């Protein structure tokens, strides 16, 4: 009888130990058992308030944002963002990434010539819709549509990419003679062509992807009214 009682006590103790081990493992697995479990997520730099396109970011514009998974290129220090220019509108509380920031415009314009290769000149071109997204070192293509001349009927002129792979040296800042404009590096012949485009065409420019710099240029034939109608049906 005593042997049976001892066996029951031993069995109960064994069951209790197994249960305690299971609970302990579960607590450790969730990080609640020992108190040493690492909290999920990381801290990155975000917008303390709404930041508009073209705004020069100050320390007061920034705050620490806790996220579960940081976005690609997330800024992790305030110093990496202060002084940079917002390339797009940034919502309050949103993490800031490298892609949202542009380098500030050079403050020493007299030193600009040091960045010019031999045989090239610096030329200022008027602003465009894409200006806030362009930063020094980017490359652009210029698209132009000549103004009708003389007896040329409206709609018969052709729109075409006139110049490709133009390197941007600087982006103008408000309050300067080149406010909002781009300073580009071109050859003297290209400078003449750009000046003609500015004075005699409706023009714009497009930002080139850095992934395409080493690829062969895509050939285009331009677009006039008849070509547009044939391609798009109206």
- DSSP class of 133: G
pLDDT surpasses 60 at 177: no
Q: Are 37 and 62 in contact (CB under 8 A)?
A: no
Q: Which fold has domain 42-102?
A: Type Iii Antifreeze Protein Isoform Hplc 12 (3.90.1210)
Query: Which among 79, 203, 54, 74 is positioned nearest to 134, based on CA atoms?
Result: 54
Residue ranges of domains in the chain: 42-102, 109-210
Q: What percent of the chain has pLDDT over 90?
A: 32
Query: How confident is the model at residue 187, as a pLDDT?
Result: 95
Query: Which among 119, 144, 128 is positioned nearest to 182, based on CA atoms?
Result: 128
Task: Give residue for tokens 């050859």.
Answer: 187
Query: How confident is the model at residue 81, as a pLDDT?
Result: 93
Measured CA angle at 178 (ends 174, 181), to 5 deg: 90
Q: Are 168 and 134 in contact (CB under 8 A)?
A: yes
Query: How confident is the model at residue 1, as a pLDDT?
Result: 53
Query: How confident is the model at residue 32, as a pLDDT?
Result: 46
Q: Are 129 and 204 in contact (CB under 8 A)?
A: yes
pLDDT surpasses 70 at 194: yes
pLDDT surpasses 60 at 42: yes
Query: How confident is the model at residue 219, as a pLDDT?
Result: 80
Which of 66-70, 72-76, 135-139, 143-147 has the weakest average pLDDT?
135-139
Q: Is 140 or 210 the better-scoring residue by pLDDT?
A: 140
Dihedral Cα 75, 112, 124, 203, nearest 10 deg = -50
Burial class (CB in 10 A: 0-12, 13-18, 19+), 144: buried
Confidence category of residue 154, pLDDT binned at 50, 70, 90? low
pLDDT surpasses 90 at 63: yes
Confidence category of residue 50, pLDDT binned at 50, 70, 90? very high
Task: Give residue for tokens 């508009």.
Answer: 52
Query: How confident is the model at residue 59, as a pLDDT?
Result: 92
pLDDT surpasses 80 at 131: no
pLDDT surpasses 60 at 5: no
Mean pLDDT of the chain: 78
């Amino acid at each position: 009888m005593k042997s049976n009682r001892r066996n029951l006590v031993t069995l109960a103790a064994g069951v209790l130990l197994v249960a305690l081990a299971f609970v302990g493992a579960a607590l450790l697995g969730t990080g609640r058992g020992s108190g040493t479990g690492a909290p999920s997520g990381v801290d990155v730099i975000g917008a303390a308030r709404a930041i508009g396109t073209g705004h020069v970011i100050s320390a007061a514009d920034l705050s620490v944002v806790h996220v579960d998974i940081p976005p690609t290129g997330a800024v992790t220090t305030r110093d990496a963002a202060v002084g940079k220019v917002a390339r797009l509108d940034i919502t309050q509380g949103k993490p800031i990434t490298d892609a949202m920031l542009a380098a500030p415009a050079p403050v020493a314009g007299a030193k600009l010539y040091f960045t010019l290769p031999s045989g090239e000149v610096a030329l200022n071109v008027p602003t465009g819709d894409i200006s806030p997204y362009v930063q020094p070192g980017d490359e652009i293509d210029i698209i132009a549509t000549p103004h009708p001349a003389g007896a040329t009927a409206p709609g018969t002129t052709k729109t075409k990419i006139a110049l490709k792979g133009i390197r941007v040296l600087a982006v103008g800042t408000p309050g300067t003679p080149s406010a909002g404009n781009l300073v580009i590096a071109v050859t003297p012949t290209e400078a003449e062509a750009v000046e003609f485009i500015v004075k005699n065409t409706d023009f714009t420019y497009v930002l080139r992807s850095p992934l395409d710099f080493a690829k062969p240029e895509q050939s285009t034939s331009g677009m006039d009214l008849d070509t547009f109608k044939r391609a798009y049906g109206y």
